[in-house]
Protein backbone atom coordinates (compact mmCIF):
# COMPACT_ATOMS: atom_id res chain seq x y z
CA UNK A 1 0.00 0.00 0.00
CA UNK A 2 2.82 2.41 0.87
CA UNK A 3 4.58 1.65 -2.43
CA UNK A 4 1.39 2.32 -4.40
CA UNK A 5 0.90 5.63 -2.59
CA UNK A 6 4.51 6.65 -3.30
CA UNK A 7 4.11 5.79 -6.97
CA UNK A 8 0.91 7.84 -7.12
CA UNK A 9 2.65 10.82 -5.49
CA UNK A 10 5.60 10.61 -7.90
CA UNK A 11 3.25 10.32 -10.87
CA UNK A 12 1.36 13.36 -9.60
CA UNK A 13 4.61 15.33 -9.44
CA UNK A 14 5.71 14.29 -12.92
CA UNK A 15 2.40 15.00 -14.66
CA UNK A 16 2.78 18.83 -14.71
CA UNK A 17 6.35 18.50 -15.98
CA UNK A 18 5.15 16.22 -18.78
CA UNK A 19 2.40 18.68 -19.73
CA UNK A 20 4.91 21.54 -19.80
CA UNK A 21 7.26 19.57 -22.03
CA UNK A 22 4.39 18.67 -24.37
CA UNK A 23 3.26 22.32 -24.53
CA UNK A 24 6.81 23.44 -25.35
CA UNK A 25 7.15 20.76 -28.04
CA UNK A 26 3.97 22.02 -29.75
CA UNK A 27 5.26 25.60 -29.62
CA UNK A 28 8.58 24.52 -31.12
CA UNK A 29 6.81 22.60 -33.90
CA UNK A 30 4.63 25.61 -34.68
CA UNK A 31 7.67 27.93 -34.80
CA UNK A 32 9.43 25.49 -37.14
CA UNK A 33 6.36 25.31 -39.40
CA UNK A 34 6.12 29.11 -39.49
CA UNK A 35 9.76 29.44 -40.51
CA UNK A 36 9.20 26.85 -43.27
CA UNK A 37 6.24 28.87 -44.55
CA UNK A 38 8.23 32.11 -44.66
CA UNK A 39 11.16 30.35 -46.32
CA UNK A 40 8.90 28.73 -48.95
CA UNK A 41 7.20 32.02 -49.84
CA UNK A 42 10.59 33.75 -50.09
CA UNK A 43 11.91 30.90 -52.27
CA UNK A 44 8.89 31.35 -54.54
CA UNK A 45 9.69 35.06 -54.74
CA UNK A 46 13.31 34.27 -55.61
CA UNK A 47 12.24 31.85 -58.34
CA UNK A 48 9.47 33.90 -59.96
CA UNK A 49 10.30 37.49 -58.98
CA UNK A 50 6.89 37.94 -57.35
CA UNK A 51 4.89 36.59 -54.44
CA UNK A 52 2.22 33.93 -54.99
CA UNK A 53 -0.56 36.52 -54.71
CA UNK A 54 -2.09 39.19 -56.87
CA UNK A 55 0.32 42.15 -56.97
CA UNK A 56 -2.10 44.83 -55.82
CA UNK A 57 -2.42 44.77 -52.05
CA UNK A 58 -1.21 42.96 -48.96
CA UNK A 59 -2.94 39.60 -48.56
CA UNK A 60 -3.64 37.62 -45.39
CA UNK A 61 -4.39 33.91 -45.57
CA UNK A 62 -6.03 32.23 -42.57
CA UNK A 63 -8.92 29.78 -42.85
CA UNK A 64 -8.35 29.81 -46.62
CA UNK A 65 -4.61 29.22 -46.47
CA UNK A 66 -5.13 26.29 -48.86
CA UNK A 67 -4.88 28.61 -51.88
CA UNK A 68 -1.35 29.60 -50.85
CA UNK A 69 -0.22 26.10 -49.88
CA UNK A 70 -1.64 24.56 -53.05
CA UNK A 71 0.68 26.85 -55.03
CA UNK A 72 3.70 26.22 -52.78
CA UNK A 73 3.11 22.43 -52.83
CA UNK A 74 2.56 22.47 -56.62
CA UNK A 75 -0.98 21.17 -56.23
CA UNK A 76 -2.18 23.57 -58.93
CA UNK A 77 -0.43 21.51 -61.60
CA UNK A 78 1.66 22.59 -64.54
CA UNK A 79 -1.12 22.96 -67.07
CA UNK A 80 -0.69 25.46 -69.91
CA UNK A 81 -1.75 28.92 -68.83
CA UNK A 82 -1.12 28.21 -65.13
CA UNK A 83 0.85 31.18 -63.87
CA UNK A 84 0.71 30.30 -60.16
CA UNK A 85 3.62 27.82 -60.27
CA UNK A 86 4.35 27.40 -63.97
CA UNK A 87 7.60 25.47 -63.45
CA UNK A 88 5.95 22.97 -61.11
CA UNK A 89 8.39 23.50 -58.25
CA UNK A 90 7.57 22.09 -54.81
CA UNK A 91 8.57 24.81 -52.35
CA UNK A 92 7.20 23.13 -49.22
CA UNK A 93 6.25 19.61 -48.18
CA UNK A 94 3.50 19.43 -45.60
CA UNK A 95 2.39 16.14 -44.05
CA UNK A 96 -1.25 15.18 -44.09
CA UNK A 97 -2.91 15.48 -40.68
CA UNK A 98 -3.08 12.09 -38.97
CA UNK A 99 -6.70 12.62 -37.93
CA UNK A 100 -8.59 14.15 -40.85
CA UNK A 101 -11.74 14.83 -38.80
CA UNK A 102 -9.89 16.80 -36.10
CA UNK A 103 -6.91 18.13 -38.06
CA UNK A 104 -3.84 19.06 -36.08
CA UNK A 105 -0.26 19.43 -37.30
CA UNK A 106 -0.81 18.96 -40.99
CA UNK A 107 -2.90 19.44 -44.09
CA UNK A 108 -6.53 18.42 -44.11
CA UNK A 109 -6.64 16.62 -47.44
CA UNK A 110 -10.27 17.45 -48.21
CA UNK A 111 -9.73 21.22 -47.90
CA UNK A 112 -5.95 21.69 -48.27
CA UNK A 113 -5.83 23.91 -45.17
CA UNK A 114 -2.67 23.58 -43.03
CA UNK A 115 -3.40 23.38 -39.29
CA UNK A 116 -1.07 24.07 -36.37
CA UNK A 117 -0.50 21.61 -33.49
CA UNK A 118 -3.61 22.94 -31.70
CA UNK A 119 -5.96 22.57 -34.68
CA UNK A 120 -6.05 26.22 -35.84
CA UNK A 121 -5.21 27.26 -39.42
CA UNK A 122 -1.86 29.00 -39.82
CA UNK A 123 -2.09 32.70 -40.69
CA UNK A 124 0.18 34.18 -43.36
CA UNK A 125 0.45 37.79 -44.54
CA UNK A 126 2.24 38.64 -47.77
CA UNK A 127 3.33 42.08 -48.97
CA UNK A 128 1.29 42.12 -52.18
CA UNK A 129 2.01 45.75 -53.05
CA UNK A 130 5.80 45.28 -52.62
CA UNK A 131 6.41 48.21 -50.28
CA UNK A 132 8.22 45.95 -47.76
CA UNK A 133 5.63 46.72 -45.09
CA UNK A 134 3.07 44.43 -43.52
CA UNK A 135 0.67 45.49 -40.79
CA UNK A 136 1.64 43.93 -37.47
CA UNK A 137 -1.33 41.82 -36.34
CA UNK A 138 -0.44 42.58 -32.70
CA UNK A 139 -0.76 46.08 -31.34
CA UNK A 140 1.94 45.73 -28.68
CA UNK A 141 5.03 43.73 -27.74
CA UNK A 142 5.55 42.01 -31.11
CA UNK A 143 7.74 44.44 -32.98
CA UNK A 144 7.08 47.67 -34.86
CA UNK A 145 3.96 48.44 -36.83
CA UNK A 146 4.21 48.08 -39.76
CA UNK A 147 6.74 45.27 -39.91
CA UNK A 148 9.52 45.62 -42.48
CA UNK A 149 9.05 42.24 -44.16
CA UNK A 150 7.74 40.60 -47.30
CA UNK A 151 6.00 37.74 -45.52
CA UNK A 152 5.04 36.90 -41.94
CA UNK A 153 3.22 33.94 -40.43
CA UNK A 154 1.66 33.22 -37.04
CA UNK A 155 -0.26 30.64 -35.07
CA UNK A 156 -3.07 31.44 -32.63
CA UNK A 157 -1.79 28.95 -30.05
CA UNK A 158 -3.73 26.81 -27.61
CA UNK A 159 -6.74 29.09 -27.14
CA UNK A 160 -7.20 29.81 -30.87
CA UNK A 161 -7.68 33.52 -30.15
CA UNK A 162 -5.42 36.28 -31.38
CA UNK A 163 -4.61 38.65 -28.57
CA UNK A 164 -3.66 42.29 -28.96
CA UNK A 165 -0.85 42.01 -26.39
CA UNK A 166 1.56 39.39 -27.73
CA UNK A 167 3.39 38.81 -24.43
CA UNK A 168 0.12 37.97 -22.68
CA UNK A 169 -0.94 35.54 -25.40
CA UNK A 170 0.05 31.96 -26.20
CA UNK A 171 0.48 32.75 -29.91
CA UNK A 172 3.57 31.84 -31.94
CA UNK A 173 4.99 34.27 -34.53
CA UNK A 174 7.64 34.05 -37.23
CA UNK A 175 9.15 37.54 -36.97
CA UNK A 176 10.77 37.41 -33.54
Q: Mind listing the pLDDT tens digit for each residue in 81-117?
A: 556 888 889 999 988 888 888 888 888 888 888 999 9
Hey, how many other C-beta atoms are within 10 angstroms of the C-beta on 109? 11
Q: Where are the extended beta strands (E) located within 38-132?
A: 59-61, 106-107, 114-115, 123-126
- Which residues pair with residue 126 across a beta bridge? 59, 151
Kindly report, residue by residue over 119-129, the tens digit of the pLDDT: 999 999 999 88
| Angle of CA points 57, 60, 65, to nearest 5° | 130
Give the pLDDT score at 20: 78
Amino acid sequence: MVVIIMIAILAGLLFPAFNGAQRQAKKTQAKNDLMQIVTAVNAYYTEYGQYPTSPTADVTFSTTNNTLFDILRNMTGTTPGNTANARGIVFINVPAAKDQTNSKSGIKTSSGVWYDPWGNPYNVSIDGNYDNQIANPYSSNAGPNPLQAGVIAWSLGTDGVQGTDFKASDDVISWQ
